[in-house]
Structure 1
């Protein structure tokens, strides 16, 4: 029986625009409803262009500074090493680590959103997968419900194993409205579990309004939170 709550969960995905922010919002809404926003922290590892950190600041009462939400910010919506080079900057991972550990020391739980996919570069030498493995972060992989999802899941799980990531499992996400038949055909759960040997915690429906936090918390309760948020 699991009974020890994690204190950090890294939310990553197979690519950009697959639902990392959706899952983070859903889980944070659940935490805020059943625990408290004061005990929760949210951090985007680094951000290129406007987007996620502004969203979290707007929708949740986090009492976090912009730097605590996103330690590194670059203006161009490009891979961090490319965006940083355009500004004559470097990707300072020490700053990210310091911000993360400081926030984690003050909060009971941190939802840590990655950028791009597991294979996305964070520096000229390191990917998100490298960072997750080196920092020993409990990780959940978001896989979009679409044609090709099975191969994406298999490839990303293989990368996670190669990088020695503590990959807890997969959450499927409907990036567009999907029928039950499409979900079953494109992301057959038993086949994906058989190929990856990784738990699948559930499937998020298409959500067109993330501002309804009560609904987001209800959606989260349909996931296997017992295995997702606990050791």
Structure 2
């Protein structure tokens, strides 16, 4: 599987069309599979909000638990803020003025520790990150490709096309899209689910790599690997 470039940071940025679309789940699944295949892959969540490390429910803690990586939550997510608001505002509320350079520097130790990193964003690509920068600017600065995680249900075409255009405008390569049924999605009564993937491909020129089903059991590494193996996903790369 070759989904990484040869720049100073080797990895893949898992972006999303919105908050709570399944970025953490997909990041964990891909990481777990790569590790099972023998790659020393790690995870990095540059910033998370609406979170309190120690609760066991932060994205960083879920990533560690679901992949079996022996890492401290503080190392995976160097910047964690409790306020459930945009990163820029959450940091300011905590008395912190963030910069892109500072965010990248905080993750630098992970780039030396792991062969490759799966990097999970916060919210969508246009989320305010610093006073003058958005999440998409961080992705562009990292010079790595992005994977877009989107809902499989009604409205996802618009959201996905806008996110793709935003990233392409900043020169970010996009490896494709994964649709996620989500924890709360009720797809049986949504007729758009049957055609969303085809229309996203038609109008974006991107490949929809697969549709991740709704999970009804605990997120373990083995379960995530098994689920990922059953769908046409990023393994094609």
Q: What TM-score results when the alignment is normalised by the length of structure 2?
A: 0.85
Change over 3 Å in CA distance of 1:200–1:59 after alignment to 2: closer
2:235 alignment counterpart? 226
- Structure 1 CA distance for aligned equivalents of residues 154 and 68 of structure 2: 37
Structure 1 gaps, min length 5: none
- Structure 2 CA distance for aligned equivalents of residues 137 and 205 of structure 1: 27
1:201-216 alignment runs, 5 A limit: 201-216=209-224
- Structure 1 CA distance for aligned equivalents of residues 63 and 198 of structure 2: 34
2:112 alignment counterpart? 105
How much is the aligned-residue C-alpha RMSD, in angstroms? 2.0
Count, aligned residues: 222
Change over 3 Å in CA distance of 1:5–1:20 after alignment to 2: closer
- Structure 1 CA distance for aligned equivalents of residues 113 and 201 of structure 2: 36
1:62-101 alignment runs, 5 A limit: 62-101=69-108
Structure 1 residues 23-52: Cα deviation after superposition (integer angstroms, max 9, x where no partner): 11211222233326xx12111110112220
1:43 alignment counterpart? 44
Q: State the SS of the aligned residue for 1:21.
A: helix
- Structure 2 CA distance for aligned equivalents of residues 208 and 99 of structure 1: 35
TM-fit CA distance, 1:5 = 5.0
1:151 alignment counterpart? 158
Q: What TM-score results when the alignment is normalised by the length of structure 1?
A: 0.87
TM-fit CA distance, 1:123 = 1.0
Q: State the SS of the aligned residue for 1:124.
A: coil
Q: Is the 8 A contact 2:181 2:187 kept in 1?
A: yes
